[in-house]
Amino acid sequence: MGSDGAQGAADDIVELTATVAVAPGEDAARILVVDDERVIREILAEFLTLEGFSVHTVEDGEKALTELRLHPYDLLITDLKMPRLSGLQLLEKIESERLGVLTVLMTGFGTVETAIEAMKKGAYDYLLKPFKVEEVIHVVERALYRQRLQTENIRLREALTIYRVSEAIALQHEIDKILDVVLHAAIDEVKADVATLHLLDAKTGEFEERVKVVAQDMTSPHGGMPSPAFGVLTQQFSQGLPILAHGGKASRFFTESSSPEELSSFVAVPLQVRGTMVGVLNVFSFTTAKKFDEGHRKMLAVLASRAASAIDNARLYGELVHSNDSLRAANESLEEMFQQTVAGFAQALEESDLYTRGHSERVAVYSEILGRGLTLPDAEIRRIVQAGMMHDVGKIGVRYDMLNKPGKLTPEEVAVFRQHPEKGKRILDPVPCLHGLIDGCWCHHEWWDGGGYPRGLQGHNIPIVGRIVAIADAYDAMTSDRAYRRALSHEVAIGEIERCSGSQFDPELGDAFVKLIEAWRKEMRERGMDSLVPK
Ligand SMILES: [Fe+2]
């Protein structure tokens, strides 16, 4: 309107009703009025404030631009003809700087063509002077409705992004992969040039850069990346203050030595786990026209919160894996100790009996051949092997001279000798981890037909470990030298096992053993080994 003068400007608004001014609420829509005519500014401000809007006025396009860069507005109502920066030029700046405000132009009859041209360039609507109250209300409300729709659309898009990112990070258990997903989302969603994520090192108390993502079309800053001053950031976060700054105003968030001259806009949001800060997400723009706003900051805050809980989960997962590993290692070392204990007992036994040297180990091998041939579970086979090693542990308590006596034992000596299965059980009883081996020690002299000792058990009442070790023990005893006789041949020993199957031995196990031991010997011969029996 420019040249019409103050009286003309006052005439532009008719039917203005005087009403008591009411201060707008905090959530009132924010409107910026730009006109070089003071009266127009005042009248529009007063009238729109009465309607419940939060109104700010400036007199030219330059000042409007400064105001828009500093504060968020929902609507801009601007005159077309103004000194310094015209309404059209202002519109172009708003578009190029992506200031994201809806614009309504005010124009007289003479400039309607220009107003229409402006709409083609992105203005939302125009008001023809002189305007009526209901026209202004109608245009403003329509514009704000459109603005709300746009905001809601953005929120919906943000919600979708957060959902997508949440889903992606929920699948990850590795912290660096989670951070990578979050930073790429940050870059994509707020059109940042660089995003970095620093995590607090619990040991040093320092923030360490874990991930940095640079936008594809980004031109790197000549002065290098500014380094965040984490002391300042932490203090700001602890007071609940947002960190969103543009240009030189951002410099207080960086260390003195770093150079943020080229920085256009900066946002930092905390990563918090159960109220404790564990990291910071920093987002940078080095492009003059690219400035972050409060919406961007909030979006990044939600991303950071998702990242923090995912990191927490990943750490818990990592700790769980670690504690499982520790548990596994402890079990393995326990198992090793167990094996050493078994080997120690077998060694103690063999120390006392030269003729049975290697006997326990061979019985363990033959027991394993039979156990595997019967396709028993691995755990059961391990127990059988250990029981084979330990089966004669009760002989530790039998006199050495009696064990190695060349001639026949007296009935008294036989009675003492026959106590060894019982003694074996008594040796193992106080050691809970060796209980699984008791059956092998206690029952390896039981007979299938009930004629064995110490309890005279019969058939399947004899634990399978006992029945297996009995056959392995007998085979090795026959095929190795003893104090009272020379070793028998394999064939003779096999013949004895066949003969005694059904009386001394479980017939099914006896048959199986004969077949399995033949196959095993064949395999040993093919490998160039004769047998386990010592020469
Ligand atoms: Fe024995």
This prediction's pTM: 0.42
Distance 478 CA to ligand 1 centre (A): 13
* Average pLDDT of every residue of the chain: 81
Distance 343 CA to ligand 1 centre (A): 17
Confidence band for 8, pLDDT divided at 50, 70 and 90: very low
Domain 172-320 = CATH 3.30.70.20: no
Distance 364 CA to ligand 1 centre (A): 13
Q: Looking at residue 405, what is its pLDDT?
A: 67
Question: 463 phi and psi, to 5 degrees?
Answer: -55, 145
Residue 368 has pLDDT above 80, yes or no: yes
Confidence band for 57, pLDDT divided at 50, 70 and 90: very high
SS3 443: coil
For ligand 1, a single-atom ion, the residues with CB < 5 A are: 392
| pLDDT, greater one: 181 or 219 | 181
Confidence band for 374, pLDDT divided at 50, 70 and 90: very high
CA distance 258 to 213: 19
Distance 420 CA to ligand 1 centre (A): 7
Token output for 17 = 């009703």
Hey, what CATH topology would domain 2-154 get?
Rossmann fold (3.40.50)
Distance 444 CA to ligand 1 centre (A): 6
Distance 520 CA to ligand 1 centre (A): 24
Residue 483 · residue 355 · CB < 8 Å:
yes
Residue 378 · residue 365 · CB < 8 Å:
no
CA distance 34 to 31: 10
Distance 376 CA to ligand 1 centre (A): 23
| pLDDT, greater one: 413 or 535 | 413
Distance 445 CA to ligand 1 centre (A): 6
Task: Write out the residue limits of the CATH 3.40.50.2300 domain(s) in the chain.
Answer: 2-154
Distance 442 CA to ligand 1 centre (A): 9
Residue 399 has pLDDT above 80, yes or no: no
What's domain 352-526's architecture? Orthogonal Bundle (1.10)
Task: Write out the residue limits of the CATH 3.30.450.40 domain(s) in the chain.
Answer: 172-320
Residue 115 has pLDDT above 80, yes or no: no
Residue 47 has pLDDT above 90, yes or no: no
Q: Looking at residue 455, what is its pLDDT?
A: 94
Residue 442 · residue 452 · CB < 8 Å:
no
| pLDDT, greater one: 143 or 506 | 506
Task: Write out the residue limits of the CATH 1.10.3210.10 domain(s) in the chain.
Answer: 352-526
| pLDDT, greater one: 411 or 19 | 411
Distance 469 CA to ligand 1 centre (A): 9
CA 232 to chain centre: 30
Residue 135 has pLDDT above 70, yes or no: yes
Distance 394 CA to ligand 1 centre (A): 8
Distance 339 CA to ligand 1 centre (A): 20
DSSP-derived letter for residue 241 is: -
Identify each DSSP E strand in 18-151 by its residue range: 30-34, 54-58, 75-79, 102-107, 125-128, 131-132
Question: 212 phi and psi, to 5 degrees?
Answer: -140, 130
Residues 285-343 have pLDDT tens digits of 888 777 888 878 888 888 888 788 777 777 766 666 666 777 777 777 777 777 777 77
Residue 511 identity: D
Distance 132 CA to ligand 1 centre (A): 115
Residues 71-112 have pLDDT tens digits of 888 899 999 888 888 888 898 888 887 777 889 988 876 677
**Distances in Å between the alpha carbon of 521 and those of 241, 487, 509?**
82, 17, 18
